Structure 1
Amino acid sequence: MLTIERALVEKIIAHARADHPDEACGIVAGPVGSDRPTRFIAMTNAERSPTYHNFDTQELLRVDREMDANGEEQIVHYHSHTSTEAYPSRTDIDYLRNPLADPRIHRVLVSTRDPEEVEFRSYLMVDGEVVEEEVKIVESYD
């Protein structure tokens, strides 16, 4: 189960809506060894595409160094779908099945296909299969 503060969810959704019609993408980092995402990091979609996202490699290198220096790790990897539901595409599933993909990272999808409705869902890779997990939105971790 992904437990995440409402303020972080709102930032993810705002980023997804701001980048529409292109897919938005980013990271939410947290302390190493914790499962509490705390720091929102909007990333640049290097593809600038409504159907595909890819982190800018230079930006990702900088963010990785920042996380290391801060004692953080990636807890959430998020991106948006602009015209489909918040469910992993075939490309998303292929990425998740990559042996280099960290199975502990929550893969959040936000759909921006309907400007009035919010679709916010999270997935994990479990035994080679993509599994939707419960998302618990809290006001604060305290």
Structure 2
Amino acid sequence: MLTLTQDLYDRIVAHARADHPDEACGMVAGPEGSGRPERFIPMLNAARSPTFYEFDSGDLLKLYRELDDNDEEPVIVYHSHTATEAYPSRTDITYANEPGAHYVLVSTADTDDAGPFQFRSFRIVDGEITEEEIRVVEAY
């Protein structure tokens, strides 16, 4: 189960909506070994594409060094789908290289500024996808 605060949930959704029609992407880091998402890290989609996302390799290297320095790890890796449901694509599965992370997908396919959206979380390990329950709390 993924447990995250309402603030983090809202920030992920806002980023997905702001970058639409391109896919948005980012991470939420937490203290190493805690499994608790705390620090919201929106990233630039270097692909600038409505059907694909890619972290800039320089930004990603800098981020992982920062995570190491802060004794943090990626707890959530998120991105949006702008034309399809919030379910991992084959490409998403291929690039899922954080076995301990929650992979959150937000679909902005059928949304406007106030409209509905899908927010789903998955574990992706060795190509196997498992959807998980999401619990949104006010605070930890």
How would you bin the TM-score normalised by the shorter chain?
over 0.9
CA distance in structure 2 between the aligned counterparts of 1:102 and 1:19, rounded to whole angstroms? 24
Local SS of the residue matching 2:12: helix
Q: How far 1:128 moved relative to its partner? A: 4.1
Instruction: Give the gaps of 5 or more residues in structure 1.
Output: none
The match for 1:136 is 135
Q: For structure 1, which segment, 16-25 or 120-129, has the greater mean C-alpha deviation from structure 2 after superposition?
A: 120-129
The match for 2:101 is 105
Asked if the contact 2:22–2:50 (Cα under 8 Å) also holds between the matched residues in 1, the reply is: yes
CA distance in structure 1 between the aligned counterparts of 2:122 and 2:80, rounded to whole angstroms? 13
Q: How far 1:69 moved relative to its partner? A: 1.4
Q: How far 1:127 moved relative to its partner? A: 6.2
CA distance in structure 2 between the aligned counterparts of 1:7 and 1:134, rounded to whole angstroms? 18
The match for 2:36 is 36
Instruction: Give the gaps of 5 or more residues in structure 2.
Output: none
Within a 5 Å distance, the mapping from 1:40-55 to structure 2 comes to 40-55=40-55
Cα gap change, 1:42 to 1:122, in 2 (>3 Å):
same
Q: How far 1:93 moved relative to its partner? A: 2.1
Name the aligned partner's letter for residue 100 of structure 2: R
Structure-2-length-normalised TM-score: 0.93
Size of the alignment, in residue pairs? Answer: 137
The match for 1:65 is 65
Query: What whole-Å deviation, never above 9, does each CA across 1:45-94 have from its counterpart, x for those lacking one?
Result: 11000000010011111111111111111100000000111111121123
Structure-1-length-normalised TM-score: 0.92
Cα gap change, 1:126 to 1:67, in 2 (>3 Å):
closer
Q: Verify: 1:123 aligned to 2:119, yes or no.
A: no
CA distance in structure 2 between the aligned counterparts of 1:14 and 1:51, rounded to whole angstroms? 18
Local SS of the residue matching 2:30: strand
Query: What whole-Å deviation, never above 9, does each CA across 1:92-127 have from its counterpart, x for those lacking one?
Result: 12333xxxx121110000011122002110000256
The match for 1:94 is 94
CA distance in structure 2 between the aligned counterparts of 1:6 and 1:34, rounded to whole angstroms? 19
The match for 2:13 is 13
CA distance in structure 1 between the aligned counterparts of 2:124 and 2:71, rounded to whole angstroms? 25
RMSD over aligned CA atoms reads 1.2
Cα gap change, 1:127 to 1:25, in 2 (>3 Å):
closer
